Structure 1
Amino acid sequence: MNQQAEPFLKEPVDAAEFAQVHVSRPHESAHLHVSGRATYTDDIPLLAGTLHAALGLAEKAHAKIVSIAFDKVRATPGVVAVFTAEDIPGVNDCGPIVHDDPVLADGVVQYAGQPMFIVVATSHEAARLAARRAEVVYEELPAVLTAQQARAAQQYVVPPMKLARGDSGAKIARAAHHVAGEMTLGGQEQFYLEGQIAYAAPKDDDGMHVWCSTQHPSEMQHLVAHMLGVPSHNVLVECRRMGGGFGGKESQSGLFACCAALAAWKLLCPVKLRPDRDDDMMITGKRHDFHYTYEAGYSDDGLIEGVAVDMTSRCGFSADLSGPVMTRAVCHFDNAYWLPDVSIAGFCGKTNTQSNTAFRGFGGPQGAFAIEYIIDDVARNLGLDPLEVRRRNLYGKTHNNVTPYGQTVEDNVIHELIDELAASSDYRARREAVRAFNARNAVLKKGIALTPVKFGIAFNVTHFNQAGALVHIYTDGSVLVNHGGTEMGQGLNTKVAQVVAHELGVSFARVRVTATDTSKVANTSATAASTGSDLNGKAAQDAAHQLRARLAAFAAERYGAGSVSAADVRFANDTVVAGDAVVPFDEVVAKAYLARVQLWSDGFYATPKLHWDQAKLQGRPFFYYAYGAAVSEVVIDTLTGEMRVLRADALHDVGASLNPAIDVGQVEGAFVQGMGWLTTEELWWKPDGKLMTHAPSTYKIPTVNDMPADFRVQLFKNRNAEESIHRSKAVGEPPLLLPFSVFFAIRDAVAAVSDYKTNPPLNAPATAEEILKAVRAVRGGAVARVASTASTASESAAGTPHEAV
């Protein structure tokens, strides 16, 4: 036998010292991102004969299409074809749940910006120019544009929902104090670096290959198949990476995939559809904006005894994912607080605007915002530090720990986390310093706030909580992984590669993750709900574990000389240890291949313990909770409404982090994105229903200048109580709630104008205009001074919140 093929002897490898998880390492594509070599959908080299598509958009919010003349469109140089709903061979629908979302408007347009037809031309510019030359005759219909209008008209995309525990009305009536009011919370544009895009190429025997920037390739596969009237196996959807995807590419990438595929199907050539940014923003849905009315009864020390909230969201013209979004809002109204008697009503208003959709947090931030606003009112009414009121109402460890929807909070670390953050941020001393500053300054006012987060992790549709993966080991010892999740910059592929490397005891460099592909792992769930690493990491771990078991059995027999069992074989440092034999991993693999050992495996994972009754809004919708808290300090100019975040301290729980560097980056990004939502990102529609904030020139996302001057992010030391992937926790969505602290710090600063004697009527986003309006209301006495008035039985019996304090 070849001497080099024999195992060499050395000291046994200590596998405990070898770890590829719980360590910081760069994003697996970072070198490609910074060098410009990362391939996004728009970078795929064009196939011969590729044409370009553009969409013709409606100009009315609600109208019948009387006629469309395409003569000028077809006369435009470069135009090849025009397609309408009549050209769709299968089903004209791309709705993810309710089939009320046409690919192309047919007879009626339901929002300004709705696609009516597809123009295909030899260039992107020609197609876009031609799409604007159609002559459309409309017969206008009444339009409903706001959540309040939809509520008044009783116009909903899904039935209203209500979750109640106890008798909140009676508790509010008997409480020593009450507070009531209303406010609005704006929506948010997705504004990813890479917009929506799809590229479709017909294949033989009625096949279709679609490259698409999407969080849900399987959904795109199903939608394209149904639209073309072919089986799903005829359609292959592929996504290597996205330049951002915060939920808007979960369902709404479907329209673009379907339009590109329809044109490619009809013309039998590749077709690319990449809308310009303003077209993208006109067509696609946003984060749901909410309107709230609320009332609460509370004790002298700020304990909430009864609370009722009424939430109405602007959903747009179709259901999309609005039902699940409202469900999560209802289930997150409690945030981190024990609410003994509570009533939560959710209404999904149907409006003639873009169909709003998933967005980072998926309704959770909108639900939790309401209780934080209420607690802020309560604290100011009683003249107490809001942090103390928050602490007094937190869920308990062993009592007062059941949510309104019936899930017991078993992993509560919010008390310790808040204590650690309050100490590390020097919250108390800084609060006193803020008060002292405000006493000395008439124009500039500072504010500070500390807010907590409790966020449930899992899809609130139980069957979505599953994932599959494939792992291949090649004879040279390299490893290829494919899973059903999608990479949108969040580091999912990096974490999955780490998990596989750790399981096989090999270095990270040996592992490569390939593009998400519906022909490799079928029937996948969306990469959403912060479950990407939880689900796909576990599925890949399962596949790698099976391979390790096969290799261990082979190594025990081949190198163990009959004295080593498979259970004793260890994998670490790119070697396999069987007794005294330490063999390079690639050598073991090569010999295993010659021995006909299977060197590939599939893995699967389904999240345990979940159950949910949507009709009753009861069950265990979440596998576990992620926690966090943040302290923000701001300064406002009371003459202009301008605001700056001076310092932000965030402490966030990601369990035993798979990759601390990536997780810190996710917390930082979520904080800034959430801060933008709550302060500068304002969506505005004209009275005729046209969205006016549809470009970077009119929609203000945070810039480098808006970053907190002093920004401190730390990960809370913890291990997941549940057996998640290496006891880590999800990190995508929960930290988006941390910048609640920015909003309430701004409200604190505005309250300083009246020496904290009023609850400022501040809505979100707290733009300069909104801050100035609140300052003027407080300064001008337009808001009643804080006073905790006793509830009356007659007011509570009316069943509606009192007028704003």
Structure 2
Amino acid sequence: MKHQDIAATATPVETTHDSAEKHVTGRADYTDDLAVPQGTLHAYLGLSRVAHGRIRSMDLGAVRAAPGVVDVLTAADIPGPNDVSPVHKHDDPIFADDLVQFHGQPLFAVLAETRDRARRAAALARIDYEELPFALDPIAARDSGMGLVTEGMTLRRGAPEEAMPQAPRRLTGRMAIGGQDHFYLEGQIALAIPGEDDEVTIFTSTQHPSEVQHIVAQALGVPANAVVVNVRRMGGGFGGKETQMNLFACVAAIAAKRWGRAVKLRPDRDDDMTATGKRHDFVVDYAVGFDDAGKILAVEGDWYARCGFSADLSGPVTDRALFHADNAYFYPAVELRSHPLKTNTVSNTAFRGFGGPQGVIVAERLMEEIAYATGQDTLAVRKANFYRNGDLTPYHQTVEDMILPRLVAELEETSAYAARRQSVLDFNADMEARGGPLRRGLALTPVKFGISFTATHYNQAGALVHVYSDGSIHLNHGGCEMGQGLHTKIAQVVADAFQVSLSRIKVTKTTTEKVPNTSATAASSGTDLNGMAALNACEQIKARLIAFLCEARDATPDEVRFVPDHVFVQGEAIPFAQVVHMAYMARVQLSAAGFYATPKIHWNRAKGQGRPFYYYAYGAACAEVSVDTLTGEYVVERADVLHDVGRSLNPALDRGQVEGAFVQGMGWLTSEELWWDAKGRLRTYAPSTYKIPLASDRPKHFDVRLADWSVNKERTIKRSKAVGEPPFMLGISVFEAIGHAVASVAGYRIAPRLDAPATPERVLMAIERLRGAA
């Protein structure tokens, strides 16, 4: 076979998700689908019914006596430390012992022969509390002296205390930014199967198997090598399964080892939403100084976060809010401060964007404030303040790959922004003249998002590749599949390295037995890290094959080339499977453990300086909405998106990630509202009370394109860029477009200052407020 003929059969880049057919036919196995061993017990959690209080007594007699109940576990039954804190602060108990710190905190677990019996028995507990004062929101917590759950951070560059008073124009304001429930389709779940001696195997839905392994080992008082954690796939995670799974895995494992029987724990959706953390709510006080042209001169800000009763990941989340408080804009003099406040609510945790969206949206609020103050188009103000290459961020990283001017210019043209803006202005003027209720709004917003874990040691990954003697390939890596197509992309990397078809490669479940000490599948880094680790393993095996062929055929390395499903040696095309079998017969090692650590990054948190990010991903979205000024209701008429993923590994998967992120970001800022009552109870705890976007809420016209001209300047896998989190913030364009429509009722002279989420009620109140001020 000629070389060019073989090359023509190369695997296409745009490959279907490896589990797509299984997803839509229902054949994809999740943890709840696994066949359980005979004698499996079912656990259910008993939750507190006060927001803050001391437990005077806990009568579990009726629980223990309920039909089918085998045991009830409390804090006294935990062999090791009563803690699931991911940051080892020992502030996050598995079961509350004496002090209850939020409504819905786990107090005990029932073990029964069936899940239904365990669930019914859990409701029979009789608990007497000494109720204590509590604080739910960040400002109330700050004013009541609740304190911080972890140390805050300050980013500073220049002298804002000097630049701010000298600025020709200044503005101050406050913005409330709501949280968000992860609303993964597959809820939290764990199945623990006891083994010999101190061993236990856990099947669970987690983004961080290694952390589950270590936390479970800690709770059991055994070494990590006694615990195996397996993840085939998750039905969504979005950050909600990065640390929150620790609790469920620990309860199942403790019960399994105590009784020598498999134990499964799956909470109802309402208990899941009540007892697990959310995206952090923030209240942000900001000040900006600028000139008459709208150019920023100084920025100051304080980010007050509702963190919950324990630290969880609030430190790094609030750090990242500051890292992205500049978004795409250069602040000549700046000081930003985070305040991760303790509240009597569930501990908030990782969520897609990891605090970044709560920083980006404040940057966009500044652009909006300046635009209305100076009578300009918000896009003109945004473009005037874009970073230029060579500028320093507030954390002293140099911006070296700024492509937003080109990207935004392209989106302006393809979305017909200028013509549509004029059309919106004309429509609103006509409605105002006729007394009509409808208004339209248009906004084009950018995003610049840093890629890497800000905890530098997490920027590492491992992979294991076996090439079997028949030419088939087994791939295992440290990343977890949660619907994003990670396994497909890593398999493509391996297929490309060996120049074989994807059909040769089997990706197996993520397990701590094969790749140790893995990082969470988070921070948009799954493909970057695990793809490079898998490539490293492939290159080791290829080097051995090349050395073998050189010796066997008296060839030089330059005379050996991998081409589709063959290896060329001195002009002869040998089938890949034949080469592998020959190497096996010659006792060549055909297995390798790959490893990768992200280069160049470093970070000094105490100084607030360094290079926390390997590179930036960019994007922009143009959204148009219609708002009914009589009801506050709105419709997204159109959204045009242009997003930067570098040289895409799989455009179909990447477009899907951009589309999903946009809608999820839109939901965070429009309909997804968390609400606690006066007793500290979360009342938006079920699909009946918590509104995620529906299919009917998506933009009527939705055009998503990738910037196919972009190439990552850094040496990432195939020069691609991360795609999981950055496009989430493109949903801010919808929020800003709603603001534009609201501002029309006062002639665009007053910034609407909407808080998020911009529910119809908030939109209506903002309209009335602006009409009263006009």
Higher relative contact order (CA closer than 8 Å, sequence separation 6+): 1
The aligned amino acid for 1:485 is G
**2:558 aligned residue:** 567
What is the CA distance between 1:580 and its match in structure 2?
2.2
Residue of 406, 427, 440 corresponding to 2:430? 440
**1:91 aligned residue:** 81
The aligned amino acid for 1:695 is A
Kindly indicate whether the alpha-carbon contact (under 8 Å) linking 2:156 and 2:608 is maintained by their aligned counterparts in 1: no
Kindly indicate whether the alpha-carbon contact (under 8 Å) linking 1:18 and 1:505 is maintained by their aligned counterparts in 2: no
2:30 paired with 1:40: yes
Alignment of 1:307-706 (within 5 A): 307-397=299-389, 399=390, 401-441=391-431, 442-558=436-552, 560=553, 562=554, 564-706=555-697
Moved over 3 A (4+): 13-21
Kindly indicate whether the alpha-carbon contact (under 8 Å) linking 2:466 and 2:475 is maintained by their aligned counterparts in 1: yes
**1:30 aligned residue:** 20
Residue of 57, 61, 73 corresponding to 2:47? 57
Kindly indicate whether the alpha-carbon contact (under 8 Å) linking 1:323 and 1:348 is maintained by their aligned counterparts in 2: yes
2:138 paired with 1:135: no
**1:166 aligned residue:** 158
What is the CA distance between 1:18 and its match in structure 2?
6.3
The aligned amino acid for 2:654 is D
**1:711 aligned residue:** 702
What is the CA distance between 1:642 and its match in structure 2?
0.5
Residue of 737, 740, 744 corresponding to 2:736? 744
Unaligned 5+ segments in structure 1 are 1-9, 786-805
Alignment of 1:710-789 (within 5 A): 710-716=701-707, 717-781=709-773
Residue of 199, 209, 215 corresponding to 1:217? 209
Kindly indicate whether the alpha-carbon contact (under 8 Å) linking 2:325 and 2:360 is maintained by their aligned counterparts in 1: yes
What is the CA distance between 1:572 and its match in structure 2?
1.8
Q: C-alpha distance in 2, partners of 1:464/1:20?
A: 32
Q: C-alpha distance in 1, partners of 2:752/2:366?
A: 12
The aligned amino acid for 1:551 is L
Q: C-alpha distance in 2, partners of 1:268/1:616?
A: 51
CA separation of 1:411 and 1:256: change in aligned 2, threshold 3 A: same
* 3-state SS, counterpart of residue 733 of structure 2: helix
* 3-state SS, counterpart of residue 3 of structure 2: coil
Q: C-alpha distance in 2, partners of 1:249/1:18?
A: 40
Q: C-alpha distance in 1, partners of 2:745/2:162?
A: 36
What is the CA distance between 1:161 and its match in structure 2?
1.9
The aligned amino acid for 2:623 is S
What is the CA distance between 1:205 and its match in structure 2?
1.4
* 3-state SS, counterpart of residue 287 of structure 2: strand
Q: C-alpha distance in 2, partners of 1:30/1:610?
A: 35
The aligned amino acid for 2:15 is R
Kindly indicate whether the alpha-carbon contact (under 8 Å) linking 1:549 and 1:566 is maintained by their aligned counterparts in 2: no
Q: C-alpha distance in 2, partners of 1:488/1:624?
A: 24
* 3-state SS, counterpart of residue 562 of structure 2: strand
Q: C-alpha distance in 1, partners of 2:540/2:471?
A: 16
Kindly indicate whether the alpha-carbon contact (under 8 Å) linking 1:627 and 1:734 is maintained by their aligned counterparts in 2: yes
Tell me the alpha carbon deviations over residues 656-676 of structure 1, each in whole angstroms, 9 at most, x when there is no partner.
Answer: 000000000000000000000
What is the CA distance between 1:19 and its match in structure 2?
5.0
Q: C-alpha distance in 1, partners of 2:562/2:695?
A: 45
Q: C-alpha distance in 2, partners of 1:402/1:159?
A: 25
* 3-state SS, counterpart of residue 553 of structure 1: helix
Kindly indicate whether the alpha-carbon contact (under 8 Å) linking 2:437 and 2:630 is maintained by their aligned counterparts in 1: yes
The aligned amino acid for 2:244 is Q
Kindly indicate whether the alpha-carbon contact (under 8 Å) linking 1:13 and 1:572 is maintained by their aligned counterparts in 2: no
What is the CA distance between 1:631 and its match in structure 2?
0.3
2:241 paired with 1:234: no
2:267 paired with 1:275: yes
**1:788 aligned residue:** none
Q: C-alpha distance in 1, partners of 2:612/2:559?
A: 39
Q: C-alpha distance in 2, partners of 1:418/1:209?
A: 50
Tell me the alpha carbon deviations over residues 235-259 of structure 1, each in whole angstroms, 9 at most, x when there is no partner.
Answer: 0000000000111100110000001
* 3-state SS, counterpart of residue 481 of structure 2: coil
* 3-state SS, counterpart of residue 738 of structure 1: helix
Kindly indicate whether the alpha-carbon contact (under 8 Å) linking 1:200 and 1:257 is maintained by their aligned counterparts in 2: yes
Q: C-alpha distance in 2, partners of 1:708/1:62?
A: 42
2:243 paired with 1:251: yes
What is the CA distance between 1:567 and its match in structure 2?
3.4
Q: C-alpha distance in 2, partners of 1:19/1:626?
A: 29
What is the CA distance between 1:180 and its match in structure 2?
1.2
Q: C-alpha distance in 1, partners of 2:91/2:175?
A: 30
Q: C-alpha distance in 1, partners of 2:144/2:547?
A: 68
Tell me the alpha carbon deviations over residues 492-543 of structure 1, each in whole angstroms, 9 at most, x when there is no partner.
Answer: 0000000000001100111111001001100000000000000000000000
Tell me the alpha carbon deviations over residues 409-432 of structure 1, each in whole angstroms, 9 at most, x when there is no partner.
Answer: 111111100000011100000000
What is the CA distance between 1:480 and its match in structure 2?
0.5
Q: C-alpha distance in 2, partners of 1:341/1:708?
A: 38
**1:189 aligned residue:** 181
* 3-state SS, counterpart of residue 780 of structure 1: helix
Q: C-alpha distance in 2, partners of 1:18/1:288?
A: 49
Tell me the alpha carbon deviations over residues 302-335 of structure 1, each in whole angstroms, 9 at most, x when there is no partner.
Answer: 0000111111010000000000001111111111
Q: C-alpha distance in 2, partners of 1:391/1:256?
A: 47
Q: C-alpha distance in 2, partners of 1:89/1:162?
A: 40
**2:117 aligned residue:** 126
Kindly indicate whether the alpha-carbon contact (under 8 Å) linking 1:13 and 1:577 is maintained by their aligned counterparts in 2: no
CA separation of 1:16 and 1:171: change in aligned 2, threshold 3 A: farther
What is the CA distance between 1:27 and its match in structure 2?
0.4
Q: C-alpha distance in 1, partners of 2:770/2:68?
A: 60
What is the CA distance between 1:555 and its match in structure 2?
2.5
Report sequence identity in percent.
56
What is the CA distance between 1:343 and its match in structure 2?
1.1
The aligned amino acid for 2:241 is K
> For structure 1, which segment, 743-752 or 755-764, has the greater mean C-alpha deviation from structure 2 after superposition?
755-764
TM-score relative to the length of structure 1: 0.94
Q: C-alpha distance in 2, partners of 1:207/1:681?
A: 42
Kindly indicate whether the alpha-carbon contact (under 8 Å) linking 2:164 and 2:297 is maintained by their aligned counterparts in 1: yes
Q: C-alpha distance in 1, partners of 2:20/2:252?
A: 30
Q: C-alpha distance in 2, partners of 1:444/1:505?
A: 57
Kindly indicate whether the alpha-carbon contact (under 8 Å) linking 1:632 and 1:741 is maintained by their aligned counterparts in 2: yes
Q: C-alpha distance in 1, partners of 2:180/2:388?
A: 34
Q: C-alpha distance in 1, partners of 2:203/2:152?
A: 37
Kindly indicate whether the alpha-carbon contact (under 8 Å) linking 2:157 and 2:396 is maintained by their aligned counterparts in 1: no
TM-score relative to the length of structure 2: 0.98
Kindly indicate whether the alpha-carbon contact (under 8 Å) linking 1:649 and 1:711 is maintained by their aligned counterparts in 2: yes
Tell me the alpha carbon deviations over residues 597-639 of structure 1, each in whole angstroms, 9 at most, x when there is no partner.
Answer: 1111110000000100011111000000000000000010001
Unaligned 5+ segments in structure 2 are none
* 3-state SS, counterpart of residue 160 of structure 1: coil
* 3-state SS, counterpart of residue 739 of structure 1: helix
